[in-house]
Homo-oligomer: A and B are copies of this chain.
Amino acid sequence: MDKNHQSCRIILASASPRRRDLLKQIGLSFDILVSDCEEVLTTTVPEEACRSLAEQKAEAVAAALTREAVEKEASGRDTSAPCLIIGADTVVACEGRLLGKPRHKEDAAAMLRLLSGRTHQVSTGVCVIRLPEGTRTSFAESTDVTVVPLTEEDIAAYLETGEPYDKAGAYGIQGWFARYVAGIRGDYNNVVGLPVGRLYRECLRDQLSSLPSS
C-alpha cells in the first residue's frame, strides 16, 4: 500500500458515522473535528441549501484551526503543514418540500408517506477548504431515488427499527430501508451522505500525493 500513501492531513468536519465510513472505504486517513457552531439555512433550494450548510461547517472548523495556528506560531512552533477540511450536508427534496431530520415519530411517518411510491432527490453539498491558503472548493451533487409504494404496515415496521430519527428524509438507504428502494439514478454514496467519488476526483486527488512521480 506504499504507493497509496497520502502526504496531506485531511480533516472531516462532520460527526456522521456514515461519512466517516465512506472516507475510510476509499482508503483515506483522516481526523474528525466538529465545530459546535449552529449552521443557518439561508435558502430552500436544495442544492444551494446543502452547499451553504457544508460551507458553514467547513468554515467553522477552518476558523478554529487558524486561531490555533496563530497561537502556535506566536509560541514559535511550525504550523505550515497543509491540511484539507471537508464539510458536508445532505438534504432530501420531494414534491417541492425540503425534508430534514424528523423531529418525532409522526413527523417521520409523514415523511415516509410522502416518499412512498415517488421519486425524490437527495442532494449533498460538499466544501473543501485548504489551509493555510484558505482556498475553498464546493459543489452539490444530486441523486434520484425511487421508493416503492409503502403500506402503513411497512411504515410502522420501519419506524420500529429506530433508523429514521437521525436521518434527513427519515430513512437510511444503507439500512433496512433497502427493502423499499426500487432504484436510483446517480451516485449511491451521495444518498448515504458523501459523494466520495466526486469529492476524491475533484477536490482531493490533486492535493494528495497519492503516487510518487515515476
Contact = CB atoms under 8 A, between A and B. Distances in A.
Interface residues of A, number: 37
B160 A178 contact: no
Interface in A129-181: 143, 148, 153, 156-157, 160-161, 173-176, 178-181
A211 B157 contact: yes
A161 B27 contact: yes
| Protomer copies | 2
A187 to B, nearest CB: 5
Contacts of A180: 197, 201
Interface string A184-195: 111111000000
A25 interface: yes
Given A184-B186, A185-B183, A3 B157 contact: yes
Interface of A: 1, 3-4, 22, 25-27, 143, 148, 153, 156-157, 160-161, 173-176, 178-189, 196-197, 200-201, 210-211, 214
